[in-house]
Amino acid sequence: MQGASQFAKQQSRFVGSGSARDNLYGRFESRLVERGDLSRRLVSYQANKTQPGLRWFKYKEGFSRHLVREALTACPGAVLDPFAGIGTTALVAAGQGRRATGIEIMPIGTRAARAISWVANQPNPDAFKRAASRLLRALDDRLEPTDENLFPHVPITRHAFTEETEAAIAKARAFLRRMRSDELRLVLDVACMSVLEDASFTRKDGQYLRWDNRCGRKLRGRMNKGPIPSYRGALERRLAEIVADFPALRHQYGGGTPSIAEGSALVELPKLPDASMNLTITSPPYANRYDYTRTYALELAWLGYDRAAFGDLRQALISATVENRSKGQQLERRYARQDVLAQANAAVASQEALAEVLDALTASRTELSNPHVIRLVANYFAEMAVVVAELARVTRPGGYVVMVNDNVQYHGEEVPVDVILSAIAEDCGFVCEEIGVLPRGKGNASQQMGRFGRRELRKCVYRWRMAERRHRG
């Protein structure tokens, strides 16, 4: 581990020129610690690619089960993840016999998590094997699929599949409709959904859904994803993988069933009782313009999301895109815990470093690639402050929050998400014990690189402890 002061000296050149950010940085300097043991692999999906269950669905925004196992050692007791994704935290914690609660807004994640958990708690795979064989036989059926079973495309998914794949998908959907067991249907549905990308002309790539130039759409870029498997072939492999994973899942996650709520953290967190959690291990969306509804367009359409539902989901996600509008009025009118909201608003209002970033961006408004990044940054912190204030409410004295997040940069202005969120956390009653920094930060977005040069943006794991005696706002 590198000494804090040496690290601080190196890092200070990454800080923007503004003094409020420098001051805030100075406040947290001794707690910003480069952690050689934190690798990119540990905090990303990479390591899950070979993990039973977690490998079924390429949820690239996930973190590794190894990180969760490590973080669980912070303290015993009930575990929460308000941005549960594919359920990594909740599955690992429940597997260790802990009370585990996940909240996730994307139905893709909640369904995958529930499917993994169901398999993990099954004594044997026979019923699943039989259902999987029947599904594959249904795909070999010569009957033409009926319209009601066709893939329910939305404009951004059209041309994703060949006709042959469309027909196979429709047969799978018809089969799933006829199934009687909800549990088996869920696991097969997740399997069918998980191979849509493989069998399509699309690829989830970085922040985008890229299109293969054979798809028949008018495209600007040229991408060829190589051989595309048949839907049946991809599905058969996935089903075999699921069968193979039964024993390992039972061993790893069979110790209990997590509670996974599907909905926004801004709606579900207020439902949790005060001081009911010992430990939160989470990774919120980053303030980096990433749009989950675009990357997961195929899967959301599979689940029946139409254009309006896509729009509603995008607006309900924590603001991280230029399309997100403020949730301020809505929260003011309907938020279930107005005292928590008031505390969050006060914490945000006192963040001088945030005000400095917003002023700097506003001053360069006409030069920004998209002026809505200003509201993106403002809304991101407004909403994350509510989440942090809720975490303060639900965390028992002495309990912990472990959070993975990235700093971002717009128009050359560093947004030090780590220290701003940690300051908000301290306003809400946490003590920021450490901001563990990954040895190599992330470069800024490529469009900004030429103009502003390459800068290292910190990728961190924060550790906040709830004070023994809480002082609320």
With CA atoms as reference, report the closest residue to 186 among 89, 299, 110, 123. 110
381 is a site residue for ligand SAM (CB under 6 A)? no
Q: Which of 266, 277, 377, 386 binds ligand SAM (CB under 6 A)?
A: 266
61 is a site residue for ligand SAM (CB under 6 A)? yes
d(CA 14, CA 301): 41
Q: Select from 316-324, 352-360, 431-439, 453-461 the region that touches ligand SAM (CB under 6 A).
A: 316-324
405 is a site residue for ligand SAM (CB under 6 A)? no
16 is a site residue for ligand SAM (CB under 6 A)? no
What separation in angstroms does the CA of 251 have from each of 124, 199, 246, 255, 330?
Answer: 12, 31, 9, 8, 44
Q: Select from 80-88, 131-139, 297-305, 329-337 the region that touches ligand SAM (CB under 6 A).
A: 80-88
Least distance between ligand SAM and beta carbon 269 (Å)? 9
347 is a site residue for ligand SAM (CB under 6 A)? no
Q: Which of 157, 162, 264, 444 binds ligand SAM (CB under 6 A)?
A: 264
291 is a site residue for ligand SAM (CB under 6 A)? no
234, 58 in Cβ contact below 8 A?
no
What separation in angstroms does the CA of 189 have from each of 87, 271, 321?
Answer: 17, 29, 29
Least distance between ligand SAM and beta carbon 228 (Å)? 26
Q: β-pairing, 430-437 with 32-34?
A: parallel
Q: Which two tokens stand for residue 461?
A: 């794991």
Least distance between ligand SAM and beta carbon 149 (Å)? 28
Q: Select from 81-89, 115-123, 161-169, 236-244 the region that touches ligand SAM (CB under 6 A).
A: 81-89
318 is a site residue for ligand SAM (CB under 6 A)? yes
Q: Residue 323: which residues within 8 A CB-CB, separation 6 or more?
A: 291, 314, 315, 372
- Residue at token pair 């929260």: 331
Q: Distance of alpha carbon 441 from its chain centroid, rounded?
A: 19
408 is a site residue for ligand SAM (CB under 6 A)? no
109 is a site residue for ligand SAM (CB under 6 A)? yes
What separation in angstroms does the CA of 48 have from each of 54, 83, 241, 243, 393?
Answer: 6, 17, 14, 18, 32
Q: Which two tokens stand for residue 278?
A: 């010992």
Least distance between ligand SAM and beta carbon 66 (Å)? 11
The one-letter code for the residue type at 148 is E
d(CA 23, CA 26): 5
Neighbours of 379 (CB within 10 A): 21
258 is a site residue for ligand SAM (CB under 6 A)? no
d(CA 80, CA 411): 35
d(CA 43, CA 85): 13
52 is a site residue for ligand SAM (CB under 6 A)? no
Helix, strand, coil abundance in the chain, percent, nearest 5:
50, 15, 35
103 is a site residue for ligand SAM (CB under 6 A)? yes
Least distance between ligand SAM and beta carbon 88 (Å)? 3
Nearer to ligand SAM, 86 or 358 (CB): 86
Nearer to ligand SAM, 215 or 316 (CB): 316
* DSSP alpha helix (H) spans, 350-410: 352-363, 373-394
d(CA 287, CA 40): 18
The C-alpha R_g of the chain, in whole angstroms, comes to: 23
324 is a site residue for ligand SAM (CB under 6 A)? no
Q: Which of 104, 212, 390, 426 binds ligand SAM (CB under 6 A)?
A: 104
User: What is the end-to-end Cα distance of the chain in Å, rounded?
Assistant: 35
Least distance between ligand SAM and beta carbon 64 (Å)? 8
88 is a site residue for ligand SAM (CB under 6 A)? yes
Nearer to ligand SAM, 7 or 57 (CB): 57
Least distance between ligand SAM and beta carbon 84 (Å)? 6
Size of the site for ligand SAM (CB under 6 A): 23
Least distance between ligand SAM and beta carbon 259 (Å)? 14
Nearer to ligand SAM, 256 or 284 (CB): 284
102, 259 in Cβ contact below 8 A?
yes
116 is a site residue for ligand SAM (CB under 6 A)? no
Nearer to ligand SAM, 316 or 445 (CB): 316
What separation in angstroms does the CA of 148 have from each of 300, 302, 308, 453?
Answer: 17, 13, 20, 53
d(CA 219, CA 459): 33
63 is a site residue for ligand SAM (CB under 6 A)? yes
Nearer to ligand SAM, 384 or 425 (CB): 384
Nearer to ligand SAM, 162 or 283 (CB): 283
Q: Which of 24, 265, 277, 402 binds ligand SAM (CB under 6 A)?
A: 265
Q: In the complex, which residues of this chain contact ligand SAM (CB under 6 A)? A: 59, 61-63, 83, 85-86, 88, 103-106, 109, 264-266, 283-285, 292, 316-318
